[in-house]
Amino acid sequence: MNKPNLHRHLGRQIDKYLSKQTINNSPELMAFIDVINQTYLNYEKDAELFEQSTRLNDKEYSEITLKLKEEIGKRDIFQKKLVEAINQLNVDGKELKEEEDNLLDLIKILNREIEIKKEFQIQLNESKTIAENANEAKSEFLSIMSHEIRTPLNAIIGLIYIMEKENSLQSFQENIEVLKNSAQNLFLLINDILDFNKIEAGRIDIERIPFNLIVLTNQIAKSLQVRASENLNKIEVIVADNFVPNLISDPLRMNQIITNLVSNAIKFTKNGTIKIKLNQLGVFDNISTFKVEIIDTGIGIEKEKFNTIFEKFSQAETRTSRQFGGTGLGLSITKKLLNLLGTDILVESEIGVGTNFNFTLQLPIDLKFIPVNTNDLQENYKVENLKGLKVLLVEDNLINIKIAQKIMTQWDVEVDLAENGLVGVEKFNAHKYDVILMDLSMPVMDGYEATTIIREKNKLIPIVALTASASFGYLDRALQIGINEYIIKPFNPNELNMKLKKYYRL
């Protein structure tokens, strides 16, 4: 047997216990030793392979573990960024926790938040467009408003200059009517703006007063016929035979609604007819359901413009205001007033044929049949003599003093003057008055402080603010400190007469 072929451990054992001669002389022993040797060699090889395999497994395990740690780290970073992104987009105000480990759920939440943000962005863009359009409409409105104000002012200033130069009775008589109309147009324009402002702020209350709608409608037609005649128009009032005229609502606002619609019809109609129709639709449980229609034969309105004509600062077209005038507030005010009365305005129109504005109302019937005097609401209101009424006028502007004093003197009112609030308080303490007309903005002492001092001594004397301050904040403050009511400058003499008449005692 060749020893070098033996496994080193087996060779040492054979050398220790067996001789070469013994081995060589026994083929069986040699075969046995050869089997044992192969076993040793195979074990050695298996051990070496196992050791090598172990080393390889440890290396791969380490590499795989490292890769897993890297992936877990990436996942944590990705998850954290997802949570941050969701929290930034979140519109519910409820923040997610970083412990949320369901990536699929996080991705779904993120997708949902992205969709919400997209919708929000769309709405934001739409709002931006609306705001830009509104701003453009307001700019156009201001341009129109400037034109509407400057036109009558130009007539007033120009005619005053002409009258001063000509200085004749004929010039005075010819121009006084134009001056009156120009001033009235300015007055109506300011009233439109103030009414719109009050409606927008929710500061208009609907009264519940008995009135006769047929009488009111006829008075409106009569008062507007002169203006209609300028365009060669005729106004007709058509009332159903079964119409119930005695109603309970706000006659002032009803007057304003019908007047606005008829005035609008006059403006857009030439050599035509404006019809005011009152139709009875039904009566049930002392509630009258009726329809009011204002029908003209004017230029008509395109169907695409039906909605925009009721928007604030808007008319059917820009050139409409240039050609026919107006601020674009009349129909907006009318719609809002009808909304306050619980209904809406409808429009039917055809270009070149005419327009029908109509609305349906349900109002309580006045069973007493004692309507208020609706003449009080018209321009042809007849002022009453107030002889003996003692009024303290607290006013600092000399022109306003002169105008108010001259007007009230025509009614035989006894007028005492105070140039500021301090003098007003002093005169109140020294004399007895029936009514105090109080300007709110004055030097030395304003109307608020003067009213507060007067109210500490007398809670009952009527105090009427005669002021150019039309802001709701100023007027609310005035009412809170004891002002009974107010008249906005420039004031209508008829309105002043009506206010003073309330406190007149024979």
pLDDT, tens digit, 9 for 90 and up, residues 129-182? 777 776 666 655 555 565 566 656 666 666 666 666 666 666 676 667 666 666
* pLDDT above 70 as % of the chain: 65
Q: Are residues 433 and 481 in the same domain?
A: yes
Q: Are residues 41 and 162 in the same domain?
A: no
Indicate which CATH number applies to the domain containing 111. 1.10.287.130
Question: Which residue type occupies 96?
Answer: L
Quote the CA–CA distance of 178 and 167 in Å, as a whole number. 16
**Number of independent structural domains in the chain:** 4
Q: Are residues 150 and 193 in the same domain?
A: yes
- Tokens for 463? 């105090």
Task: Please name the residues in contact with 180: beta carbons below 8 A apart, sequence gap of 6 or more.
Answer: none
Q: Are residues 249 and 339 in the same domain?
A: yes
Quote the CA–CA distance of 142 and 131 in Å, as a whole number. 16
Indicate which CATH number applies to the domain containing 411. 3.40.50.2300
Task: Please name the residues in contact with 491: beta carbons below 8 A apart, sequence gap of 6 or more.
Answer: 466
Indicate which CATH number applies to the domain containing 298. 3.30.565.10
- pTM of the entire predicted model: 0.51
With beta carbons less than 8 A apart as the criterion, state whether 235 and 221 touch. Answer: yes
Quote the CA–CA distance of 221 and 210 in Å, as a whole number. 20
pLDDT for residue 314 is more than 70? no
Residue 138 burial (CB count, 10 A) = 13
Q: What is the mean pLDDT of residues 209-225?
A: 87
pLDDT score of 364:
93
pLDDT score of 489:
75
Is residue 420 assigned to a domain? Answer: yes
Q: Which of 222, 500, 217, 264 is nearest to 384 (CA)?
A: 500
Q: Are residues 373 and 227 in the same domain?
A: yes
Beta bridge partner(s), residue 437: 393, 464
Positive or negative, the Cα torsion across 147, 194, 455, 438? positive
Q: Which residues of 246-277 are buried (b: 16+ CB within 10 A; e: fewer)?
A: bbbbbbbbbbbbbbbbbbbbbbbbeebbbbbb
Expressed in angstroms, the distance from the first to the final Cα of the chain is 160
Is residue 86 assigned to a domain? Answer: no
Q: Which of 145, 355, 151, 375 is nearest to 262 (CA)?
A: 355
Is residue 434 assigned to a domain? Answer: yes
pLDDT for residue 124 is more than 60? yes
Q: What is the DSSP string of 34-93?
A: HHHHHHHHHHHHHHHHHHHHHHHHHHHHHHHHHHHHHHHHHHHHHHHHHHHHHHHH-SSS
With beta carbons less than 8 A apart as the criterion, state whether 364 and 248 touch. Answer: yes
Quote the CA–CA distance of 254 and 378 in Å, as a whole number. 12
- Tokens for 437? 């007309």
Q: Residue 325 — very low, low, confident or very high, per pLDDT cuts 50/70/90?
A: very low
Report pLDDT digits (tens) over 274-284. Answer: 999 999 999 99
Q: Are residues 140 and 48 in the same domain?
A: no
Q: Are residues 36 and 122 in the same domain?
A: no
Range of the domain at 59: 3-71
Q: What is the mean pLDDT of residues 441-463?
A: 91
Q: Residue 413 — very low, low, confident or very high, per pLDDT cuts 50/70/90?
A: very high
Is residue 91 assigned to a domain? Answer: no
Q: Which of 350, 367, 349, 366 is nearest to 358 (CA)?
A: 349
Burial class (CB in 10 A: 0-12, 13-18, 19+), 45: exposed
> How many residues are listed for the chain in this entry?
506
Is residue 99 assigned to a domain? Answer: no
pLDDT for residue 58 is more than 70? no
pLDDT score of 328:
57
With beta carbons less than 8 A apart as the criterion, state whether 481 and 451 touch. Answer: yes
Is residue 385 assigned to a domain? Answer: no
Q: Are residues 368 and 436 in the same domain?
A: no
With beta carbons less than 8 A apart as the criterion, state whether 436 and 442 touch. Answer: no
Q: Are residues 457 and 477 in the same domain?
A: yes
Is residue 308 assigned to a domain? Answer: yes
pLDDT score of 236:
94
377, 411, 438 — which closes off a domain? 377
- Tokens for 1? 């047997």
- Tokens for 115? 């969709």
Q: Report in angstroms the alpha-carbon separations of 499 from 62, 195, 232, 434.
A: 99, 19, 37, 12
Quote the CA–CA distance of 418 and 430 in Å, as a whole number. 12
Positive or negative, the Cα torsion across 241, 246, 248, 253? positive
Is residue 77 assigned to a domain? Answer: no
Q: Are residues 225 and 321 in the same domain?
A: yes
pLDDT score of 383:
82
Q: Rounded to 10 degrees, what is the CA torsion of 448, 451, 452, 457? A: 170
Q: Are residues 241 and 296 in the same domain?
A: yes
pLDDT score of 316:
40
377, 404, 431 — which closes off a domain? 377
Report pLDDT digits (tens) over 82-107. Answer: 667 666 666 555 555 544 556 666 66
Q: Are residues 186 and 286 in the same domain?
A: no
Quote the CA–CA distance of 239 and 36 in Å, as a whole number. 134
Quote the CA–CA distance of 497 and 494 in Å, as a whole number. 5
377, 410, 433 — which closes off a domain? 377
Residue 326 burial (CB count, 10 A) = 18
Of 41-55, 136-150, 394-408, 446-460, the poorest mean pLDDT is in 136-150
pLDDT for residue 66 is more than 90? no
Question: Which helix (DSSP H) or strand (DSSP E) does residue 281 occupy?
Answer: strand 273-284
Quote the CA–CA distance of 72 and 103 in Å, as a whole number. 12
Give the chain's count of helices (H) and strands (E).
14, 12
pLDDT score of 318:
43
Q: What is the mean pLDDT of residues 61-88?
A: 69
